[in-house]
Amino acid sequence: MKFKISLRTNWGLNYRRDGFVKQNIFLIGDAAGFADPLTAEGISNSIYSGILAAEAIVSSEMNLRTAANNYNQFLNSKLLPKLSTGAQLAQLFYEQKKLRNLILKRYGQRAAEIMTDIFMGERSYPKDYKKSIKKRFKKAVLS
């Protein structure tokens, strides 16, 4: 089982480093540390990780080792990359005061709508957020 993504942040939101399956217990949500690093919201990731755990168990035909491996693969491919992007965005947002203020001043309402969509599971963080931020930052500065 591989866990390569690190989510150490200055604001204390990070997931477990010692695995997500303990004997026959599958850790989900807050127990696994799956609160979103940018928003600190955790309900949607709790539900999602619960679904992933259930899918892992069902697809394993009740074999604990296979279920644990499936769960870790599901997390590594589906949830942990999202949390990693959230951590990077959180670091950028919380540590870059000028950028944060510009975003909120120019796009405050739209930013709130986007975050609501993320809370509701209707969208996720952009895959190439750096490119998107650069494009919007240049547009904001030049206009």
Question: Given this model, what pLDDT does residue 11 score?
Answer: 47
Q: What is the DSSP string of 80-112?
A: HHHHHHHHHHHHHHHH-HHHHHHHHHHHHHHHH
**pLDDT of residue 64 exceeding 70:** yes
**pLDDT of residue 102 exceeding 90:** no
**pLDDT of residue 58 exceeding 90:** yes
> How many CA atoms lie within 13 Å of 92's alpha carbon, on the beta-carbon side?
13
User: Would you place residue 126 in the very low, low, confident or very high pLDDT band (cuts 50, 70, 90)?
Assistant: confident
pLDDT in tens, 3-24: 444 444 444 456 788 899 999 9
